């Protein structure tokens, strides 16, 4: 927990004390946050970084859109695929593994061809492009995690549900999926976090319109005279807020999948 404390304390440090690696700020100030929020409160930092730099709202909203919608898209695409793989062996043993290999490829290898592809398709610097990219990045996570959660549930429960009159689709929606709800929300959170933190994709594939918080963070980190710790810590704190909110919201679902009358066996 200490690092969290350090981060918060760095974020309220006065610029003259930024480089002092002391635990408590001697002169606490909210100037770092104010700098990010609006161009009005930037006088103190003018020696370090120009007042004309953008505020944090554009990257913040872009991050929410790109990462959020990308995550939702990959969950939609991956959930049913995971179920199909778990129950019907779609793609056998190879397909799930193949999807995993997408994540094994170091991003450096493919990022330049992706840049070329995006500029060809007109997706460069668009929110749509980033959403598709993040959906692609998140897909392996969703498929594999959800497949393993589905695998935990014995197929007899599916059979029992269908004997009770549910169609296979209904069994999927109404019975099985709720049972893996904890896994589902956790997967959602992870994919969101991964997409939220993506840097190299956002750096090379956006410029003015769709750039996200990690790129903005890199921009405000370097001032005329070195790293601007106060600003970047403040942004770091702000950047965790949406994630914390999502994390808090999913806690409701982190309950045992028992509570709605699962079919008793034997």
Partner 1 sequence: MKWLKNPKWVALLFIMPLEVLLNLIGMFPFVVAIYLSFTNWTPVTGNWWEASIVGPQNYIKMLFDANFIRSIFLTAGIVGFCVTIEFLLGLLLAFLFLEDLLGKKILTSLAILPMMFIPAVTGYVFYVAFQSSGPLNVTLSLVLGTDIQLRWLRDPMLSFLGIVITDVWQWTPFMFLVLFSGLLALPPDPINAARILGGSGWQTFRDVQLPMLKPVIIVALLLRAIEAFKMFDIVYIITMGGPGYATQTLSLYLYEEGFKYLKMAYVAAEGLAIMLLVAIICWYAAKPLLRRTAA
Partner 2 sequence: MTTEKVSRRNWLEIAGGTIVGLAVGAGAATLIKPPAVTPTPTPCPTPTPCPTGVPEGIPVVGDTATERALNAAKEVAKRDNVPSGFELTVLVGSAMAQSHEDSRALWESRTGVKLKFASVPSEELYDKAVSESVTKTGMYDVLHIEPYMVGEFAPGKLLRDVTDWARKYDPRLHGPPDGYVYPYDWQICYFRNRVYGLATDADTAFIMCRKDLFDDPKEQENFESQYGYPLKYPTLWTEYRDIAEFFHRPPDLYGTLESRDYWGYWSWFMRHAATKWPVVYPWDDDVNANVNNETGYLATEQYVEATKFMHPDVIKLGYGEELDIMGKGKAAMAIFPASAAKFTNNPELSQVVGKIDVPPWVPGNMVDTPDGKKLLWKSIQGGGFIVTVSNYSKYPELAYLYIQFYASPENIVTDSVAAGSWLDPCRYNQMGPDADPRQVKASGRPVLLASPYVIQHAVPLTPLVASHEYFARLQKNLQDCIIGVLSVQDAMAKTEKEWNEITDRVGREEQKKTWLAYKPWYG
Instruction: Show contacts with partner 1 in window 195-214 (CB under 8 A).
Output: 196-197, 199-200, 213-214
- Binding piece for partner 1, criterion CB under 8 A, among 26-34, 43-51, 54-62, 147-155: 147-155
Report the distance separating Cα 222 and Cα 229, nearest Å: 9
Contacts of 5 (CB under 8 A, 6+ apart): 23
- Judging by DSSP bridges, how do beta strands 222-223 and 226-227 pair with one another? antiparallel
Told to check if 2 binds partner 1 by CB under 8 A, we report yes
Residue count, binding to partner 1 (CB under 8 A):
105
- Binding flag, residue 165, partner 1 (CB under 8 A): no
Contacting residue, 175, 202, 217, 220, with partner 1 by CB under 8 A: 217
Cα separation, 168 vs 156, whole angstroms: 13
Min dist CB 35 to partner 1, Å, is 16
Write the CB contacts of 174 (distance below 8 Å, at least 6 apart in sequence): 161, 166
Size of the residue set binding partner 2 (CB under 8 A): 40
Contact between 138 and 74 (Cβ < 8 Å): yes
43 sits near partner 1 (criterion: CB under 8 A): no
Contact string 200-239 vs partner 2 (x = CB under 8 A): ---xx--xx------x--xxxxxxxxxx------------
Question: What is the rounded distance in angstroms from the CA atom of residue 248 to the CA atom of residue 256?
Answer: 17
| Tokens standing for residue 219 | 């921009």
Q: Is residue 88 at the binding interface for partner 2, with CB under 8 A as the rule?
A: no
Q: Which stretch binds partner 1 (CB under 8 A): 27-35, 37-45, 48-56, 80-88?
A: 80-88
């Amino acid at each position: 927990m200490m690092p969290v404390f350090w981060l918060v304390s760095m974020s309220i440090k006065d610029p003259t004390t930024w480089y002092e690696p002391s635990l408590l700020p001697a002169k606490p100030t909210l100037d770092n946050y104010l700098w990010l929020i609006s161009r009005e409160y930037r006088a103190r930092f003018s020696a370090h970084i120009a007042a004309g730099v953008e505020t944090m709202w554009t990257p913040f909203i872009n991050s929410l859109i790109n990462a959020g919608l990308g995550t939702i898209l990959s969950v939609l695409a991956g959930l049913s695929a995971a179920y199909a793989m778990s129950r019907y062996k779609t793609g056998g043993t190879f397909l799930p593994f193949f999807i995993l290999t997408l994540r094994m490829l170091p991003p450096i290898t493919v990022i330049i061809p992706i840049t070329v592809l995006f500029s060809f398709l007109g997706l460069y610097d668009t929110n749509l492009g980033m959403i598709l990219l993040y959906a692609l990045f998140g897909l392996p996570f969703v498929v594999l995690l959800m497949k393993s959660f589905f695998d935990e549930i014995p197929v007899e429960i599916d059979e029992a549900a269908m004997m009770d009159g549910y169609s296979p689709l209904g069994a999927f929606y109404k019975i099985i999926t709720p049972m893996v709800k904890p896994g589902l929300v956790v997967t959602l959170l992870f994919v969101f976090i991964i997409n939220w933190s993506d840097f190299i994709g956002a750096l090379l594939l956006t410029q003015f319109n769709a750039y996200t918080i990690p790129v903005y963070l890199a921009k405000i980190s370097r001032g005329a005279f070195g790293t601007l710790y106060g600003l970047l810590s403040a942004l770091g704190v702000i950047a965790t807020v949406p994630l914390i909110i999502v994390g808090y919201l999913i806690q409701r679902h982190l309950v045992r999948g028992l509570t709605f009358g699962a079919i008793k066996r034997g």
